[in-house]
Structure 1
Amino acid sequence: MTKLSVNINKIATLRNARGGNLPNLLKSAKDIEDFGGQGITIHPRPDERHIRYQDARDLKKIVTTELNIEGNPVSKFIDLVLEVKPDQVTLVPDAEDAITSNAGWDTIKHLDFLKDVIETFKSEGIRTSIFVDPDNEMVKAAADTGTDRIELYTESYALAYSKNDKEAGVAPFAEAAKSAHEVGLGINAGHDLSLENVKYFKESVPHLLEVSIGHALICESLYMGLENVVNMYLNRLK
């Protein structure tokens, strides 16, 4: 079964909109685990506009499944990850003012930088993953960084699916996953996956270990309830 890691950034966004602690981010994380979620993902940005750095420290104390911290490996982020020591760190090349992640790494251009950062994390026993587009050259170069896994950036698939072109949309991801598996990389995926499109993606992309889903899952939960939606994803990922 492909594991479901729930990104709780949007819960933090709602909390921060009014101050205080409603909704309670830590309780939400525990509830997601109790509902069957197999991981918690957070993406703290330097301005802490949703997930705060202290949230990462607090979540480390209570998450019992898998804690995945995503972000651009600037010095502040690296220090946080080394302090918290999550189960997995996912490196994402987003600008500080980015609304959301919008591209994978150029693993050829940034090879030396990624190798240094990944070596730092792996020396502390932290599993590493890097955000990449479904490009075989980028995937093969990712293996040279020493990373354990890649996370396929799935926005283009979601867009193709919404335009009734799912076969063409998923094809490069299936090829990238095969290439990654051949060079010994684990495969994660995320960005704009939803209840509507995740089942076909899972069925079409081989060796898929984990998906990270936040925005769609939280939006769907407004209508159908968090527990129900988590279990709907789990059923689609079997």
Structure 2
Amino acid sequence: MSDTAKFKRITLKLSGEALQGKQGFGIDPEVLGTIAQQLAEVVYLGVEVALVIGGGNIFRGLKASAKGMDRTSADYMGMLATVMNAVAMQDALERLGVVTRVLSAIEMKEIAEPYIRRRASRHLEKGRVVIFAAGTGNPYFTTDTAAALRAMEVNSEVLLKATKVDGVYDKDPMKFDDAVRFERLSYLEVLSRSLHVMDATAISLCRENDLPIVVFDMLSPGNICRVVCGDPLGTLVAPDGYERPAR
């Protein structure tokens, strides 16, 4: 490809719901394949890719907890759902010739490697896509927080948050025609305005470590590659003075 990547190492946070497509539950093989193809294009640019996938297409711990299930049990079930998504994504990527490793925060050696930070970094250095599964391995923490934590542990240059809309808005653009999209926000603006970018713990972690976040629409084919190559897509959440790498 003629495009040039502007980042050497990225962490991509992908919601579990993104994998279900229009079927409303589970994993849509066509959607899975499309996302895998986009990731493969990024890998072919020489970018080191870490991936965190949620589990909401299979099980949502918070929703189950709200209906009376013990929160800890519900969260552990949600972590297991992320492992299922990680294994599915691994299969889709390897069918495209992309070498991957699934690293799980909950040990299940027959399915995935245990999460060890140095091992994850080594896999990335060798050009393997690393898929982090089972969140942080602890209840009460979301996969958003896991993505922020893992991104900093492996020294990613940016955290990409793939969503169904083209950035962060002042209100739900699906419900309000007059919703305004932000091109840039500070971490404090996200927290003070309760904007639904990522949960507050994840935003605070990124703020404390100056890790920029790009929130963008992943439904348009090629958008992951475009963001990596410097196109000003979506909304940037970053410290003062940080500028996106330009194309």
TM-score, with normalisation over the residues of structure 1?
Answer: 0.36
Which protein has the bigger helix share?
Answer: 1
TM-score, with normalisation over the residues of structure 2?
Answer: 0.35
